[in-house]
Amino acid sequence: MRKKDKDKYFAVYAEIGRRVSYYRHLRGLSQEELAAKVDISTSHLSKIEAPNTAASPVQ
């Protein structure tokens, strides 16, 4: 993957994480509560919301 494409991917991924975090807070949910609702681990949700890390897609 070219650096330009990689940078774009991570920018999009970081924006998704920010939005997940924003709407989770807006609904008054903890990471544990949201993770349980969408059937993923709290650790995975934390990685999704962290702007400088990337979580692997669930398969």
pLDDT tens digits, 24-44: 999 999 999 999 999 999 999
pTM (2 d.p.): 0.78
Residue 54 lies in a domain: no
Residue 56 lies in a domain: no
Q: Give the separation between CA 39 and CA 58, rounded to whole angstroms.
A: 11
pLDDT tier for residue 10 given thresholds of 50, 70 and 90: confident
Which of 49, 4, 51, 41 has the alpha carbon at shortest distance from 25?
49
pLDDT tier for residue 59 given thresholds of 50, 70 and 90: very low
Indicate the number of domains in the chain. 1
Residue 32 lies in a domain: yes
Say how many C-beta atoms besides its own lie within 10 A of residue 34's C-beta: 20
Q: What is the mean pLDDT of residues 7-13?
A: 88
